Every structure is written in C-alpha cells, then in structure tokens.
Structure 1
Amino acid sequence: MQHANQGTGPTIDGQGLSIAIVQARFNADITDTLARACRDELAALGVADSAISLHQVPGALEVPVVLERLARSGRHQALIALGCIIRGETYHFELVANESGAGVTRVGLDHALPIANAILTVETEAQAHARAEDKGRDAARVAVEMARLLERLA
C-alpha cells in the first residue's frame, strides 16, 4: 500500500515496519487524540496493527527513558513521542519542554533511530486541542518516512 503524504513530500509506505509509540498520560484528553490520530495514520500508511506498540507513561519527562529502552531493544525501525505540555504560571513549563525535548533528541542520535517528536508545547488547552489530530498524523508520517530514508542510507 502506497500513501502519499500531504504537501510535496515523497510517497511513503509503512508495510513491514515496526513502530513504537510512547504516550504521556498527562493532559490525557489531548494525548489520547494524538495517539488515535497517529495510529489511524500509521494504518493508512500500511503499518500492521500488530507491528505498532503503545506504551504510556505519566508525563513528558518520562517519555525519553522509555524511548531509550525501546531503542536499545532493536525491535523497531522508528519511535514516536506523544505528549502535551501547556504553559502555566511558573518556570515548570520551560523545564519540562526543554528537558523532554532534549531527551527525545538524545535517544534518537545515540541510537541513530528516527523519533517523531509530537510532544506539543502550547500556551493554552485550546491550542493543544486545535493541533492534536494534525500533529498525531504528522508524527506517523515522519516516523515512516524517516525509517525508509535511513533504510536507503544504510
């Protein structure tokens, strides 16, 4: 099954890929939307449901440690990070956003494994709801496209 992504990007095919998703439960109404859209798009791209694993963690700061374990397993061609960080009145937003992002990036670079980072960082809950479905689908497309690109580069 070939599926063309939106825009001018390449046609991407997820058949035969194994992809793991790590979803933060904090702001679950939003992260559940991210996960649902992501899984739907992975299916549309040809990734078998049995080749998709979903792992939930308490919040965005816990996402990188599970990504690390999954990357180390060698069982997946790509990983996806899902979460939602909404700005509050304290510095905590910056801490969580910066540290979770740095952790996700480090795991990907350390293991030369594509990780689609769809941990939303937004000002308001309304912004998160407005972006969740599109960002979930985008994460699926990025994961599949990057897995295929790294295969070609190997």
Structure 2
Amino acid sequence: MLGADKGQTQALDGQHLRIGVVQARFNEGVTNALRDACLAELAVLGVKPEQIVHVTVPGALEVPLALQAMARSGDGQFDALIALGCIVRGETYHFELVANESGAGVTRVSLDNAVPIANAILTTENMPQAVVRQVEKGRDAARVAVEMALLQERLA
C-alpha cells in the first residue's frame, strides 16, 4: 500500500510510467535546480529517461498551457505531469497575480483532464527562501507524480 510519508519512496515503482515535466525558465537558477532534483528522483523511482518528456516555457503563467497540451496530446500519453517554476515576491501586486493564476491553471488542467499534476512552482518571499527549497521541492514533485499516477491506476 502506498503511504504518504517520505519513508515510502521504496514502495513507489515508476518503471512503467510516462511523465511530462514543464519547467518555467524565469528564475532559471532555481528552476534548473528543481529540474535536476526532480529528474534524479524520478530515476530513483524507476522512471526511465525515455519515458520522460521535458519542455520549458518562459514563466509560471505559461506552465498551465504547456501542461494542457501534454494532457491532451494523446490517449493516456502521460500518467502524470509535473510543473516546475519559481515566483519570488516583488514590490508590486504582480506576485499575487502570477502565483494565483498559475496555481489555478495547474489545478484546472489536472481536474479537466483527470491527470495528476505535481505542482512544484515555488512561491517565496525572497530568493534565499527559494534556494533553500529548490532541491527538496524538486524531489517531492517526482514522488508526488509517481504516487498519484499509481493511485489513479489503482482507482481506475
């Protein structure tokens, strides 16, 4: 049985899964670290590199559209998707707009297409907070994607 705690990583077997990853390029240092940690964890979970499709988009607001294209790209082409990005608070309302709309878009794509999406778009007050979270959040996104894909299979 799949558990929610991090000790269950061994029970997550992603060998047969196909995973799509959408990475925002804005704040590229952080999003590259998210990507690297995510892809490394997918490998630990048994997901084969040839079963992973990775694309980049300019920023967090573009992530949902790319996720939607992947979700609709074929009959069950992807078992789960992953959203990677980094939004850092600035001095204007733009932070709230981008954070809220990208998050709502990711959720909508997941629900509209019945495909699990691990949302690892960081929303932080400053860049040091993002850097502290980048590796663990990337790993977590991989685990969430695999766990939810396996859950979807069991429930189908």
Would the TM-score normalized by the shorter structure come out above 0.5?
yes
Aligned-partner Cα distance in 2 for 1:53–1:61: 20
Report the Cα distance in structure 2 between the residues aligned to 1:10 and 1:151, rounded to whole angstroms. Answer: 18
Q: Deviations over 1:41-98 (max 9, x none)?
A: 0000000000011100000000000000000013100000000000000000000000
Q: Does 1:21 align with 2:21?
A: yes
What is the root-mean-square deviation in Å for CA atoms of aligned residues?
1.5
Are 1:32 and 2:32 counterparts? yes
**What is the percentage of aligned positions where both structures have the same residue?**
66
Q: Tell me, yes or no, if the aligned pair for 2:9 and 2:143 is still in contact at 8 Å.
A: no
- 1:148 equivalenced with 2:150 (yes/no): yes
> What is the Cα deviation at residue 37 of structure 1?
0.2
- Which residue matches 2:121? 119
Separation of aligned partners in 1, 2:47 and 2:10: 17
Q: Is the 8 A contact 1:5 1:141 kept in 2?
A: no
1:11 corresponds in structure 2 to: 11
Q: TM-score, normalised by structure 1?
A: 0.95
Match of 1:71 in 2: 71
| Equivalent of 2:88 in 81, 86, 90 | 86
Quickly say closer, same or farther: Cα 1:36–1:9, change in 2 above 3 A.
Answer: closer
Give the Cα–Cα distance (whole angstroms) in 2 for the partners of residues 130 and 149 of structure 1: 30
Q: 2:140 aligns with which of 138, 149, 153?
A: 138
1:10 CA displacement: 7.8
Q: Assess, with a 3 A threshold, how the Cα gap between structure 1 residues 38 and 50 changes in structure 2: closer, same or farther.
A: same
| CA distance in structure 1 between the aligned counterparts of 2:9 and 2:134, rounded to whole angstroms | 21
State the TM-score, normalized to the length of structure 2. 0.94
